[in-house]
Structure 1
Amino acid sequence: MDDRLFSQASAEIIDLHRFFVDWFVAARADKVDFGRFEAVMGEGLTMIAPGGQVLDRDAVIDHVRSSRATCDDGFAISIEDIKPGWQDGDTIVVLYVEAQSRDGKHSRRQSSAVFTTSSSAPNGVQWRHLHETWLQVPEH
């Protein structure tokens, strides 16, 4: 196990979710560089959303771009239980739980993400695949 690669991927998970909060919260969105998000979404990225939809890189980028400033100051994300999974060379799978609070409603999702090294990415890794599964669906 390469602790350095796990540390880079863990930092990327935390930093990207900080980006999401800043991008989605209307009061902060003007100060956020969307290029940071695009830089870490690797070519060929796929995402399986918690509801089962399969999204390609363009769909993920378009969804995030169009969701700018759609939340109030109460929106929050926390990342819990980050653990290394399989690793080989410059590729690692990392498992984590994402907890969200939006409009007083809470949700949690188990995520697994595949990262590869990238010298041009802020934390030295790019997202290649993300799979999210509901642990707690947002209350209605």
Structure 2
Amino acid sequence: MSQEPSLFQKVSAEVFDFHRFFEGWYNAATADSIDFGRCERAFGRAFHMIPPTGRVFDRAETIELIRANRATFQGNFTIEISDIRAGYETADTIVLTYIEAQSRAGKYSRRQASALFTASSSAPNGVEWQHLHETWLQMPET
């Protein structure tokens, strides 16, 4: 009998998997093979995001932003996730922090992210993103 993954294991898998989605969606060579519905299923109905710029995006604005950036790179966009840590946690809610390092056409940046997830059987990896807040650790090189 296999044991159900912990909430931390589910959200950790989701963070890695969702960022692999971004790499595929943003790459012109692979974008056609990526299921955009995966993105829409990942966000809770009240989701909002605060990127390092400080602007607040609601769920619809976030989805449109991601959709609009489809195939904008030529295989030169990568994301590395590290230092995943759990914060506050209940049976179905968890706050997670992690570091996201991006390479966009040779320009590097790093950001600290804090995300709130809730359990959802219909979402990828069994968890929905409810809130995401990012801040620069290293701004993109110019």
Q: Residue 19 of structure 2 aligns to a residue in which SS?
A: helix
Q: For 2:22 and 2:73, how far apart are their aligned partners in 1?
A: 11
TM-fit CA distance, 1:122: 2.0
Partner of 2:99: 97
Letter in 1 for 2:60: D
Deviations 1:33-77 (A, max 9, x none): 000010011110010111101110000000000100001212100
Q: Tell me, in whole angstroms, the C-alpha distance in 2 between the residues paired with 1:126 and 1:72.
A: 29
> Please, what TM-score do these two structures have when normalized by structure 2?
0.95
Task: Identify the residue that residue 11 of structure 1 maps to in structure 2.
Answer: 13
Q: SS of 1:123's equivalent?
A: helix
**TM-score (normalizing by structure 1):** 0.97
One-letter identity of the residue aligned with 1:66 = A
Structure 1 unaligned blocks of 5 or more:
none
Runs of 4+ residues deviating >6 angstroms: none
Specify every segment of 5 or more residues in structure 2 that has no aligned partner in the other structure, as ranges: none
Supply the AA of the counterpart residue of 2:38: R
Identity level (%): 57
Query: What is the Cα deviation at residue 103 of structure 1?
Result: 1.1
Question: For the aligned residues, what is the CA RMSD?
Answer: 0.8
